[in-house]
Amino acid sequence: MRMTFAKFSAGLALTLAASQPTVAADWQYCLAPSHAEHKVYMSAVFPVRGSLDDADSAFELMLDRAGLPHDVVQCPRADDEQAILAMQQYAIAFNRQSGNAIVHLPLESRDQISGRPPTRGSM
């Protein structure tokens, strides 16, 4: 199990290391493992708004408010929606293969994770 987690951590570190300053076309999703519960909480993909740290903080706050125990929150990003969807599908497959349940968290709006105040049309 430690080797599998180490491989996942290394892959995620490479993904995060490849991050560049965001531009309007960037996309991301957030995930947070709960190693004790063998679960990974995951958001839908969404366009980046604000800094990368905004999404991490907002996702962590949402998990905390929901009382969901979790480890470190990570929000990988990609240059376009197709790339981030492929990354997310890989993370889902990897974690399922590792014995973790994937918990897709419903969002009232994408703004909830992006750290942006909701707009009238997204509520």
pLDDT of res. 62: 93
Q: Dump pLDDT digits (tens) for 59-102.
A: 999 999 999 999 999 999 999 999 999 999 999 999 999 999 99
Q: Are 88 and 94 in contact (CB under 8 A)?
A: no
Establish if 81 belongs to a structural domain: yes
Establish if 14 belongs to a structural domain: no
Question: E strand or H helix at 27, and its extent?
Answer: strand 27-28
Establish if 49 belongs to a structural domain: yes
Establish if 31 belongs to a structural domain: yes
pLDDT of res. 6: 43
Those residues with Cβ within 8 angstroms of residue 108's Cβ, 6 or more apart along the chain or in another chain: 118, 123
Mean pLDDT value of segment 43-65: 88
Strand duo 46-47 + 27-28: pairing:
antiparallel
Establish if 80 belongs to a structural domain: yes
Establish if 56 belongs to a structural domain: yes
pTM, 2 dp:
0.69
With bands split at pLDDT 50, 70 and 90, how would you rate the model's confidence at 8? Answer: very low
Establish if 20 belongs to a structural domain: no
Structural domain boundaries enclosing 54 = 2-7+26-117
Average pLDDT over all residues of the chain: 77
Q: Of 54, 66, 23, whose CA–CA distance to 117 is shortest?
A: 54
Number of domains into which the chain is organized: 1
